[in-house]
Every structure is written in C-alpha cells, then in structure tokens.
Amino acid sequence: FLADGAGSVSQGGEGATLAVNEAMAYMSQKVQGGELGLNDILATDIVLTVRQRLFAEAEAKELAVRDFACTFLGLISSANGTLIMQIGDGGVVVDFGHGLQLPLTPMVGEYANMTHFITDEDAVSRLETFTSTERVHKVAAFTDGIQRLALN
C-alpha cells in the first residue's frame, strides 16, 4: 500500500500513514481468516475501512476529515491473482512476466495539480481497480512526486 498526504492540508502526512497502516492491519486479519477474493469487493472494503479510521482520527482530534486527505494505492498479489486499487495520482507499475505495464492511469482533478483523495465524499465511486489471474513478478509504486519522470 502507498499513500501520499495532500500538501495543502495540516495532517496529510499523518493521514497517509494511518491509511497505509489501517490497510495493512485489515489485510493481515483477512489473510489470517483464510482465502480471500482479489476483487472489487475487497478493494471497496479496504477503502471503507481506511476511511472509517481517518474519520475517527479527525473526530478524535476535532478536525475536519479533509485535514487528513491523501491519495491511496494498493497492490495485493498471490498465486490466485492480483488486485490493484487506486484513488488519486501516482501509479503502480507491474510486470507479470511480459514486460512493464501501468494498468491504471493516474487520476487527475478538474484543474492542473489537482487529484482525488480517499477522504473525498465520492472516494468509493472514484476507486479504480484492476484484477488479473496472474501473479505479479515485479512491482514499483510511485506518488505524484516522481510521476512525470516515471511515466516518461
């Protein structure tokens, strides 16, 4: 999992850390519980769980949830297949053994230098996923900081 805090908010870095930690904790529980489907349902459940954690943190600190805004990307791969999920810019490059590919295009907002965040009201509907029956051989994930360099 990878998250990048919005630079325009006070708690973006903390939001990114909480998002990744919550996603990892959720997946640890799912893996211990047995087999899981690498599909849109899992991706949505992860996003909802992360959002719940960010909303709880905002409430505990008496801040707006937008103060914890961050992009969110994830990849889960096993012998059963691969799931990639994304809200916001950045990207996940994979190699299934056939060369590098970027299955999901980095999201952009309405204006230049804008994107979407996991804390946005419409985050679940903006969630993009990619699934494959193949296991990833190599992966690289990046945030918008090196996005132009990585894609060119």
Per-residue pLDDT of 20-65, as tens digits, reads 999 999 999 999 988 689 999 999 999 999 999 999 999 999 999 9
3-state helix, strand, coil in the chain (%, to 5): 40, 25, 40
Asked whether the predicted pLDDT for residue 144 surpasses 80, the reply is no
Residue 43, C-beta contacts closer than 8 angstroms, at least 6 positions apart = 74, 83, 85, 127, 129
In this predicted model, what pLDDT tens digit does every residue of 88-120 receive, in sequence order?
Answer: 998 999 999 999 999 998 887 676 667 899 999
List of residues 6+ apart from 66 with CB closer than 8 A: 9, 117, 119
pTM for the structure as a whole: 0.92
Phi-psi region of 127 (alpha: psi -120 to 50; beta: other; left: phi over 0): beta
- The number of residues making up the chain comes to 152
Q: Is it the case that residue 9 has pLDDT exceeding 70?
A: yes
- Is the model's pLDDT at 147 over the cut of 50? no
Question: CA quadruple 111, 116, 122, 127: dihedral positive or negative?
Answer: positive
Q: Which domains does the chain have, with CATH numbers?
A: 2-151 (3.60.40.10)
